Chain A
Amino acid sequence: MRPLAAILIAAVTLGTVKAYTLFERSLPAPVVIANALDRAAGKFSVEVALTFDAAPDDFALEPLSVLIQLQGSELFRSQERLPAGQAIVLEDVEGVVEGVNSFFIKIAPAESDFTSQRAVRVRVLRDGVAISENTLWSEPGAAVKGIVKIDVKHASAGPHPH
C-alpha cells in the first residue's frame, strides 16, 4: 500500500508541475508599451522622387514596387509599375513625434541591371517647408532601400534635420 501511495504522490506532484509549466507557456506574451512620445505639431508630408522605373520586386517575399514606413508602421505600398520622374507624395502623414523619426523606404527597379546603381530623392516637409532632404542609393542591381531619420523638435524650437 505504501509504495502505491508514494507513486501516486510522486505522479500528482510531477503532473502538477508539468501542468503549471504548460499553463504558464500558454499565457499570451506581455505587451510592452513603448514610452509615450509627444506627437509633433504641424502637418507632415513625404515626397519621394523616382529617377528610374519602379516595378514589383522579383526578389522579395512580397512583390512590392514601393514600400514606405514610419517607425515600422506602413504609410504606403504599391505593386504597380511607376515611371521614372514620378513623385510619390504622402500628405498629412500621421505618427510623426517629437524626437527622432525613422522613415523606411524601399523602391524596386524594373530592370535589375548589375552595372547600375539607382537613387531616389526623399523630402520630408512640415507645414509645407522642407525639414529634411536625402538621397538614397542602391547597391548595383538591387532595390533602393534605406532609412531616413529626422529629428523633429518642439514646434517653437524648429526642426533639426539629420
Chain B
Amino acid sequence: MVRKSHLFLLLAALASTIGAASGQEETEKKIAVCSTTQVADLTRQVVGDRWEVRCILAPGQDPHLYEIKAGDARIVASADLCLENGWHLEGKDWMRTLATTAGKPLVTCADGIAPLKLDQGDEVVHDPHTWFSPRNATIYVRHIVQVVVKIDPQHRSEYEARAELYVSQLRALHTWIQKQVSAIPSDRRILVTSHDAFNYFCREYEFKSAAPAGWSTGDEIGGGVTPERRRQAVESIRKYGVKAIFVETSVNPKLIRQIASDAGVRVGGELYSDSMGGPGSAGEAYIGMMRENVLTIVEALQ
C-alpha cells in the first residue's frame, strides 16, 4: 500500500513537471526594456500583452539627469529588445551603454524624424524631445512594429493591427489638438516652460517657445540654465505679454516660480514633459499626457 502511494506521488510529480515545462514554453513572454516612459507606452500599444514591457525610468524621473543604478544591468540582461528615445535625451547615453554592455539589440525611436537643429556655437544638437508631435510619435510606432515583427514574425498581423489602430488614434489626437489650440489667439501662443522641451509641439501647433534652461536639464552642450537664458526668458514674457508660464513634472519647479515672480506672471499649471505620469494619473499613457498638457495650456493662455 505504501509502495503504491509512493508510486502515485512520483507519477503525479513527473506529470506536473512535464506539464509545467510545456506550459512555460507556451506562455513565456518576450521582454522589451525601454529607457523612457513615453517609449515604454508606445511599445505597449504595439505588443499588447504578448510581451512584457519594462521601463528603466519611473514616472517623473528626468532622463537627462538619470544615472545608471545597480539593478538596471540586471533588467537589461533579461531583455530580448532594448528601445531608447535617442539623440542624447538619455543623458550621457545611459541606455545605449546598458544595451551595448549587455550585448542586446537597441532601437533608437527618434531616428528618421526631421530634427529641429539647435545651434550651440561650435556644435549643432538635434533636439531629442521629438515625441511632443503626434506625427513623430507615429514614426516611433513604425520603428517599434518593424523590430517586434522581426523578432516575433509569427504574430505579425496582431502587432500591425494594434499599431494601425493606435496611429489612427494619434491622428485623432493631432486634429483634436489643432482644434483645441485654435482657441488661443496667435499672439498669445507663447509657451514658456522650465526647459526647452516643447519645440516640436511648438513647431506643429504654431507656438513660440522660451525656456530658462536649454534642451537638457543636464550639463551637455547647450543644456542647463545660464543667467543669459534666464534673463531672455523674463524679457520674452514681458515683451510678449505672456499670460502664464508652466512648470514641468520632471523638473524642479523652483526656477519657474522665481521667474514668474520676477516677470509678474502667473504659473499656468504643470506639464508632463520628459516623463509621463504615474499609474492612475491622466498622464500615465502618451495620449492622456498630451491631452492633459493641451488642456492645461489652452486653459491658461486662451
A interface residues with partner B (beta carbon < 8 Å): 3, 6-7, 10-11, 14-15, 18, 21, 58-61, 112-114, 140-142
Contact = CB atoms under 8 A, between A and B. Distances in A.
Contact of A113 (B10, B141, B178): B178
9 contacts: A10-B15, A11-B18, A14-B14, A59-B134, A59-B167, A112-B175, A112-B178, A141-B174, A142-B171
Contact of A61 (B134, B141, B176, B179): B141
Interface in B142-193: 142, 145, 160, 163-164, 167-168, 170-171, 174-176, 178-179, 182
B178 A60 contact: no
Given A10-B14, A112-B171, A3 B142 contact: no
Contact of B15 (A6, A14, A113): A14
A4 to B, nearest CB: 10
Contact of A59 (B174, B176, B182): B174
Interface residues of B, number: 28
B111 to A, nearest CB: 15
A8 to B, nearest CB: 10
Contact of A7 (B14, B145, B167): B14
Contacts of A7: 10-11, 14
A7 B7 CA distance: 8
Contacts of B138: 58-60
B27 interface: no
Contacts of B14: 7, 10-11, 14
Given A61-B160, A61-B163, A6 B175 contact: no
Contacts of A59: 134-135, 138, 167-168, 170-171, 174
Q: Give me the 10 closest cross-chain CB pairs, A-B, nearest first.
A: A141-B175, A59-B171, A114-B175, A114-B178, A58-B135, A114-B179, A14-B18, A3-B7, A10-B11, A59-B167
A10 B7 CA distance: 11
Given A6-B7, A7-B11, A59-B135, A18 B22 contact: yes
Contacts of A58: 135, 138
Given A3-B3, A10-B14, A112-B174, 4 more contacts: A3-B6, A59-B135, A61-B141, A114-B175
Contacts of B18: 11, 14-15, 18
B84 to A, nearest CB: 21
A116 to B, nearest CB: 10
Interface in B5-39: 6-7, 10-11, 14-15, 18, 22
A149 B160 CA distance: 26
